[in-house]
Amino acid sequence: MARLIARVKVLPADAETNLDGVAESLKKNVPTGMELSKYTKEPIAFGLHAIVGDFMLDDSEGQMEKLEDAIKAVEGVGEIEVMNISRASVKMK
């Protein structure tokens, strides 16, 4: 089965949200067989930042929905935006 990389932008629930804490929770709370392989903090506006993370998951039915639900369940997450999905063999910039 092929592996996918989903690049997801995670917006904080409010300005006081600790993004490093959210990232650690994301690493621990993703479903079995998925992982947060790397992330960066990206400026949004006025000192606010978002997490842009690359999540590894299997290319099977329902996996993306499970990932989205797991991300939304993490405390401190406001909204998410799926930016890109590609096979793990493809480099994303």
CATH of the domain at 33: 3.30.70.60
C-alpha triplet 49, 51, 55: angle, nearest 5°: 170
Residue span of the structural domain in which 53 resides: 3-87
pLDDT at 9 exceeding the cut of 70: yes
Does residue 92 lie in a domain region? no
C-alpha to C-alpha distances, 74 to 22, 32, 71, nearest whole angstrom: 7, 16, 6
Does residue 75 lie in a domain region? yes
Tens digits of residue pLDDT in 14-44? 988 999 999 999 999 988 889 999 999 999 9
Give the sheet arrangement for strand 48-58, strand by strand.
35-45, 48-58, 3-12, 77-87
Does residue 55 lie in a domain region? yes
Side-chain half-sphere exposure of 48, counting CA atoms within 13 A: 13
Tens digits of residue pLDDT in 37-79? 999 999 998 889 999 999 999 988 999 999 999 999 999 999 9
For 82, the token pair is 């799926």
Domain count, the chain: 1
The H or E element containing residue 33 is none
